[in-house]
Amino acid sequence: MEPILKNHRKTIAQITLQKSIHPKKSTINNLMDFYVTALENEHMESVLQIQDAIFQNIQGENVVAEFPKDLPLPENKPFSFALNRDYLHRYKVGITSTEQTYELYRELAGHYPDNPYIRFNLAEMMFRLWLQDNSQITDRMMRNTINSMNNYDIPFEASRRLKVNYHKIMVNRNYYSKPKKPIGWHIRQIRNVYSKTDLDERDMISIAKFLRAYNQINVAERILRPYARKEKPDEDLLFYYIKLTITKTRIIRTQWYRDLMVQAYLQNPARFCNLFLPHSKPEGHGMLVLNNENIKEIYCKLCIIKD
Protein backbone atom coordinates (compact mmCIF):
# COMPACT_ATOMS: atom_id res chain seq x y z
CA MET A 1 0.00 0.00 0.00
CA GLU A 2 2.99 2.36 0.48
CA PRO A 3 3.25 3.43 -3.20
CA ILE A 4 -0.42 4.41 -3.13
CA LEU A 5 -0.45 6.12 0.28
CA LYS A 6 2.59 8.32 -0.38
CA ASN A 7 0.80 10.01 -3.26
CA HIS A 8 -1.96 11.24 -0.92
CA ARG A 9 0.07 12.45 2.05
CA LYS A 10 0.22 16.14 2.80
CA THR A 11 2.93 18.11 4.62
CA ILE A 12 1.92 20.56 7.31
CA ALA A 13 4.43 23.40 7.69
CA GLN A 14 4.31 25.74 10.64
CA ILE A 15 5.69 29.19 9.87
CA THR A 16 6.59 31.62 12.63
CA LEU A 17 6.68 35.28 11.63
CA GLN A 18 8.99 37.62 13.48
CA LYS A 19 8.68 41.39 13.34
CA SER A 20 11.62 42.90 11.51
CA ILE A 21 13.14 46.27 12.36
CA HIS A 22 13.89 48.54 9.42
CA PRO A 23 16.23 51.46 10.18
CA LYS A 24 14.74 53.64 7.42
CA LYS A 25 11.17 53.11 8.66
CA SER A 26 11.83 53.51 12.38
CA THR A 27 12.69 56.71 14.19
CA ILE A 28 15.62 56.95 16.57
CA ASN A 29 13.18 57.22 19.50
CA ASN A 30 11.36 54.06 18.46
CA LEU A 31 14.61 52.18 18.06
CA MET A 32 15.82 53.40 21.42
CA ASP A 33 12.58 52.18 23.05
CA PHE A 34 13.03 48.78 21.38
CA TYR A 35 16.63 48.69 22.59
CA VAL A 36 15.71 49.45 26.21
CA THR A 37 12.94 46.87 26.18
CA ALA A 38 15.20 44.19 24.71
CA LEU A 39 17.87 44.96 27.30
CA GLU A 40 15.41 44.77 30.18
CA ASN A 41 14.03 41.46 28.87
CA GLU A 42 17.55 40.15 28.25
CA HIS A 43 16.87 39.29 24.62
CA MET A 44 20.46 39.26 23.41
CA GLU A 45 19.70 38.60 19.74
CA SER A 46 17.23 41.50 19.64
CA VAL A 47 19.68 43.81 21.40
CA LEU A 48 22.34 43.20 18.75
CA GLN A 49 19.81 43.53 15.92
CA ILE A 50 18.47 46.82 17.25
CA GLN A 51 22.01 48.10 17.81
CA ASP A 52 22.79 47.51 14.15
CA ALA A 53 19.56 49.30 13.19
CA ILE A 54 20.46 52.31 15.35
CA PHE A 55 23.98 52.42 13.91
CA GLN A 56 22.60 52.36 10.37
CA ASN A 57 20.05 55.05 11.20
CA ILE A 58 22.65 57.35 12.70
CA GLN A 59 25.18 56.80 9.92
CA GLY A 60 22.58 57.06 7.14
CA GLU A 61 20.86 60.22 8.38
CA ASN A 62 23.79 61.80 10.20
CA VAL A 63 21.81 61.85 13.45
CA VAL A 64 23.73 62.25 16.69
CA ALA A 65 22.14 60.13 19.42
CA GLU A 66 23.36 58.65 22.67
CA PHE A 67 22.46 55.30 24.14
CA PRO A 68 20.80 55.21 27.58
CA LYS A 69 23.49 56.02 30.11
CA ASP A 70 21.70 55.10 33.33
CA LEU A 71 20.75 51.53 32.53
CA PRO A 72 22.11 49.03 35.07
CA LEU A 73 25.00 46.98 33.73
CA PRO A 74 23.52 43.55 32.86
CA GLU A 75 25.01 40.68 34.81
CA ASN A 76 24.65 38.29 31.87
CA LYS A 77 28.02 37.93 30.19
CA PRO A 78 26.63 37.98 26.60
CA PHE A 79 25.46 41.57 27.10
CA SER A 80 29.08 42.67 27.31
CA PHE A 81 29.21 42.40 23.52
CA ALA A 82 26.35 44.89 23.18
CA LEU A 83 28.01 47.40 25.50
CA ASN A 84 31.35 46.87 23.78
CA ARG A 85 29.87 47.82 20.42
CA ASP A 86 27.94 50.68 22.00
CA TYR A 87 31.10 52.34 23.33
CA LEU A 88 32.98 51.80 20.09
CA HIS A 89 30.18 53.34 18.05
CA ARG A 90 30.00 56.40 20.29
CA TYR A 91 33.71 56.92 19.71
CA LYS A 92 33.50 56.47 15.94
CA VAL A 93 30.72 59.04 15.50
CA GLY A 94 32.43 61.54 17.80
CA ILE A 95 30.10 61.37 20.79
CA THR A 96 32.94 60.49 23.16
CA SER A 97 36.62 61.42 23.07
CA THR A 98 39.50 58.98 23.18
CA GLU A 99 40.03 59.61 26.88
CA GLN A 100 36.32 59.21 27.69
CA THR A 101 36.13 55.98 25.69
CA TYR A 102 39.23 54.67 27.43
CA GLU A 103 37.59 55.25 30.82
CA LEU A 104 34.38 53.54 29.65
CA TYR A 105 36.36 50.48 28.57
CA ARG A 106 38.32 50.44 31.83
CA GLU A 107 35.04 50.24 33.75
CA LEU A 108 33.62 47.64 31.37
CA ALA A 109 36.77 45.51 31.63
CA GLY A 110 36.32 45.56 35.41
CA HIS A 111 32.92 43.90 35.00
CA TYR A 112 34.02 41.53 32.21
CA PRO A 113 37.75 40.96 32.75
CA ASP A 114 38.03 37.94 30.45
CA ASN A 115 36.18 39.32 27.42
CA PRO A 116 38.83 39.46 24.63
CA TYR A 117 36.97 42.06 22.54
CA ILE A 118 36.72 44.46 25.46
CA ARG A 119 40.36 43.85 26.35
CA PHE A 120 41.46 44.59 22.80
CA ASN A 121 39.43 47.80 22.52
CA LEU A 122 40.78 48.90 25.91
CA ALA A 123 44.32 48.34 24.61
CA GLU A 124 43.43 50.17 21.38
CA MET A 125 42.16 53.22 23.27
CA MET A 126 45.22 53.16 25.51
CA PHE A 127 47.43 53.06 22.41
CA ARG A 128 45.67 56.10 20.93
CA LEU A 129 46.13 58.03 24.18
CA TRP A 130 49.77 56.98 24.28
CA LEU A 131 50.29 58.34 20.75
CA GLN A 132 48.84 61.64 21.96
CA ASP A 133 51.53 61.70 24.69
CA ASN A 134 48.90 61.46 27.39
CA SER A 135 50.69 61.75 30.73
CA GLN A 136 48.79 58.89 32.37
CA ILE A 137 49.99 56.33 29.78
CA THR A 138 53.72 55.58 30.01
CA ASP A 139 55.84 53.50 27.62
CA ARG A 140 56.07 50.75 30.24
CA MET A 141 52.28 50.68 30.73
CA MET A 142 51.73 50.43 27.01
CA ARG A 143 54.27 47.63 26.63
CA ASN A 144 52.80 45.67 29.56
CA THR A 145 49.28 46.04 28.19
CA ILE A 146 50.30 44.77 24.76
CA ASN A 147 52.20 41.84 26.27
CA SER A 148 49.21 40.95 28.46
CA MET A 149 47.04 40.41 25.37
CA ASN A 150 48.60 36.94 25.19
CA ASN A 151 46.62 36.06 28.33
CA TYR A 152 43.28 36.49 26.55
CA ASP A 153 41.72 34.90 23.48
CA ILE A 154 42.37 37.98 21.37
CA PRO A 155 42.70 37.03 17.67
CA PHE A 156 46.37 37.08 16.69
CA GLU A 157 45.76 39.26 13.63
CA ALA A 158 44.32 41.98 15.86
CA SER A 159 47.02 41.83 18.52
CA ARG A 160 49.73 41.63 15.84
CA ARG A 161 48.77 45.02 14.46
CA LEU A 162 48.98 46.68 17.88
CA LYS A 163 52.29 45.00 18.72
CA VAL A 164 53.93 45.97 15.44
CA ASN A 165 52.66 49.55 15.63
CA TYR A 166 53.92 49.89 19.21
CA HIS A 167 57.41 48.72 18.31
CA LYS A 168 57.46 50.89 15.17
CA ILE A 169 56.70 53.95 17.26
CA MET A 170 59.39 52.99 19.77
CA VAL A 171 61.94 52.52 16.97
CA ASN A 172 61.13 55.98 15.70
CA ARG A 173 61.28 57.62 19.13
CA ASN A 174 64.52 55.91 20.13
CA TYR A 175 66.19 56.52 16.77
CA TYR A 176 65.64 60.27 16.94
CA SER A 177 66.12 60.69 20.67
CA LYS A 178 69.12 62.58 22.00
CA PRO A 179 71.18 60.71 22.83
CA LYS A 180 70.02 57.99 20.46
CA LYS A 181 68.67 54.88 22.22
CA PRO A 182 69.07 51.26 21.05
CA ILE A 183 66.42 50.03 18.63
CA GLY A 184 67.64 46.44 18.17
CA TRP A 185 65.24 44.91 20.70
CA HIS A 186 62.21 46.53 19.08
CA ILE A 187 63.38 45.43 15.63
CA ARG A 188 63.64 41.84 16.87
CA GLN A 189 60.13 42.03 18.27
CA ILE A 190 58.80 43.21 14.91
CA ARG A 191 60.57 40.34 13.15
CA ASN A 192 59.21 37.88 15.70
CA VAL A 193 55.63 39.01 15.12
CA TYR A 194 55.95 38.92 11.33
CA SER A 195 57.45 35.43 11.40
CA LYS A 196 54.32 34.02 13.06
CA THR A 197 51.78 34.99 10.45
CA ASP A 198 51.17 34.74 6.73
CA LEU A 199 51.08 38.23 5.27
CA ASP A 200 50.52 39.34 1.73
CA GLU A 201 53.29 40.82 -0.37
CA ARG A 202 52.11 44.39 0.14
CA ASP A 203 52.48 44.05 3.91
CA MET A 204 55.97 42.58 3.50
CA ILE A 205 57.08 45.44 1.24
CA SER A 206 55.72 47.92 3.79
CA ILE A 207 57.67 46.44 6.69
CA ALA A 208 60.82 46.17 4.54
CA LYS A 209 60.57 49.87 3.62
CA PHE A 210 60.14 50.73 7.30
CA LEU A 211 63.26 48.75 8.25
CA ARG A 212 65.25 50.28 5.40
CA ALA A 213 64.33 53.77 6.60
CA TYR A 214 66.10 52.99 9.88
CA ASN A 215 69.19 51.46 8.26
CA GLN A 216 68.05 47.90 8.96
CA ILE A 217 68.68 46.81 5.37
CA ASN A 218 70.03 43.36 6.28
CA VAL A 219 66.94 42.63 8.36
CA ALA A 220 64.66 43.81 5.55
CA GLU A 221 66.52 41.59 3.08
CA ARG A 222 66.17 38.50 5.25
CA ILE A 223 62.45 39.10 5.65
CA LEU A 224 61.82 39.51 1.92
CA ARG A 225 64.15 36.81 0.62
CA PRO A 226 61.78 33.81 1.03
CA TYR A 227 59.04 35.70 -0.82
CA ALA A 228 61.35 36.83 -3.62
CA ARG A 229 62.61 33.28 -4.15
CA LYS A 230 59.16 31.79 -4.64
CA GLU A 231 58.53 30.01 -7.93
CA LYS A 232 56.24 32.84 -9.05
CA PRO A 233 57.04 35.84 -6.84
CA ASP A 234 54.94 38.99 -6.71
CA GLU A 235 56.36 41.47 -9.24
CA ASP A 236 56.42 44.51 -6.94
CA LEU A 237 58.05 42.55 -4.14
CA LEU A 238 60.60 41.00 -6.50
CA PHE A 239 61.70 44.33 -7.91
CA TYR A 240 61.83 45.97 -4.50
CA TYR A 241 64.00 43.11 -3.27
CA ILE A 242 66.38 43.55 -6.22
CA LYS A 243 66.59 47.30 -5.66
CA LEU A 244 67.33 46.60 -2.00
CA THR A 245 70.10 44.11 -2.71
CA ILE A 246 71.60 45.06 -6.06
CA THR A 247 74.71 46.53 -4.39
CA LYS A 248 75.21 43.62 -1.96
CA THR A 249 78.25 41.81 -3.36
CA ARG A 250 77.88 38.85 -1.03
CA ILE A 251 74.40 38.14 -2.42
CA ILE A 252 74.63 39.04 -6.08
CA ARG A 253 77.48 36.64 -6.79
CA THR A 254 75.33 33.63 -5.91
CA GLN A 255 73.64 31.55 -8.61
CA TRP A 256 70.19 31.85 -7.05
CA TYR A 257 70.43 35.64 -7.25
CA ARG A 258 71.30 35.47 -10.94
CA ASP A 259 68.29 33.23 -11.49
CA LEU A 260 66.19 35.72 -9.57
CA MET A 261 67.36 38.55 -11.85
CA VAL A 262 66.42 36.52 -14.91
CA GLN A 263 63.01 35.85 -13.35
CA ALA A 264 62.51 39.60 -12.89
CA TYR A 265 63.47 40.25 -16.51
CA LEU A 266 61.03 37.62 -17.77
CA GLN A 267 58.23 39.13 -15.71
CA ASN A 268 58.78 42.70 -16.90
CA PRO A 269 61.78 43.40 -19.22
CA ALA A 270 61.28 47.18 -19.37
CA ARG A 271 61.00 47.53 -15.62
CA PHE A 272 64.10 45.39 -15.12
CA CYS A 273 66.25 47.47 -17.46
CA ASN A 274 64.97 50.66 -15.82
CA LEU A 275 66.79 49.57 -12.66
CA PHE A 276 70.00 50.79 -14.28
CA LEU A 277 68.70 54.26 -15.13
CA PRO A 278 69.87 57.34 -13.15
CA HIS A 279 68.68 57.78 -9.58
CA SER A 280 66.35 60.57 -10.71
CA LYS A 281 64.15 57.99 -12.39
CA PRO A 282 61.52 56.18 -10.25
CA GLU A 283 63.09 52.72 -10.63
CA GLY A 284 66.62 53.92 -11.34
CA HIS A 285 69.53 52.74 -9.25
CA GLY A 286 72.31 54.40 -11.23
CA MET A 287 74.90 53.02 -13.62
CA LEU A 288 77.49 52.60 -10.84
CA VAL A 289 76.00 49.21 -10.03
CA LEU A 290 77.50 48.03 -13.32
CA ASN A 291 80.94 48.25 -11.69
CA ASN A 292 80.11 44.84 -10.29
CA GLU A 293 81.07 42.25 -12.90
CA ASN A 294 78.20 39.93 -12.06
CA ILE A 295 75.59 42.66 -12.47
CA LYS A 296 77.29 43.98 -15.61
CA GLU A 297 77.23 40.52 -17.17
CA ILE A 298 73.50 40.12 -16.47
CA TYR A 299 72.75 43.65 -17.71
CA CYS A 300 74.64 43.13 -20.96
CA LYS A 301 72.95 39.80 -21.66
CA LEU A 302 69.44 40.94 -20.85
CA CYS A 303 69.25 44.67 -21.58
CA ILE A 304 71.99 45.31 -24.19
CA ILE A 305 72.21 42.13 -26.23
CA LYS A 306 68.74 41.33 -27.53
CA ASP A 307 67.61 38.56 -29.83
Query: Which range among 44-53, 114-123, 232-241 shows the weakest confidence by mean pLDDT?
Result: 44-53
Q: How many Cβ atoms from other residues are within 10 Å of residue 56's Cβ?
A: 15
Residue 303: its pLDDT value, please?
A: 85
Residue 151: its pLDDT value, please?
A: 85
Q: Which amino acid is at 191?
A: R
Q: How far apart are CA 302 and CA 272, in angstroms?
A: 9
Residue 35: its pLDDT value, please?
A: 72
Q: Which of 207, 214, 193 is nearest to 237 (CA)?
A: 207
Range list of β-strands (E), 99-160: none
Q: Which residues contact 227 (CB under 8 A, 6 or more apart)?
A: 201, 204, 233, 234, 237, 241
Q: Which of 221, 232, 287 is nearest to 254 (CA)?
A: 221
Burial class (CB in 10 A: 0-12, 13-18, 19+), 158: middle
Q: Give the pLDDT band of residue 70 (cuts 50, 70, 90).
A: very low
pTM: 0.69
Q: Give the pLDDT band of residue 75 (cuts 50, 70, 90).
A: low
Q: Give the pLDDT band of residue 94 (cuts 50, 70, 90).
A: confident
DSSP state of 302: I
Q: Yes or no: say if 32 and 40 are a contact pair by the CB < 8 Å rule.
A: no
Q: Yes or no: say if 74 and 39 are a contact pair by the CB < 8 Å rule.
A: yes
Averaged pLDDT of the chain: 80
CB-side exposure of 244: number of CA atoms within 13 Å? Answer: 26
**215 Rama sector, left if φ>0, alpha if ψ -120 to 50, beta otherwise:** left
Q: Yes or no: say if 85 and 51 are a contact pair by the CB < 8 Å rule.
A: yes
Residue 202: its pLDDT value, please?
A: 87
Q: Which amino acid is at 153?
A: D
126-150 per-position pLDDT tens digit:
999 999 988 889 999 999 998 888 8
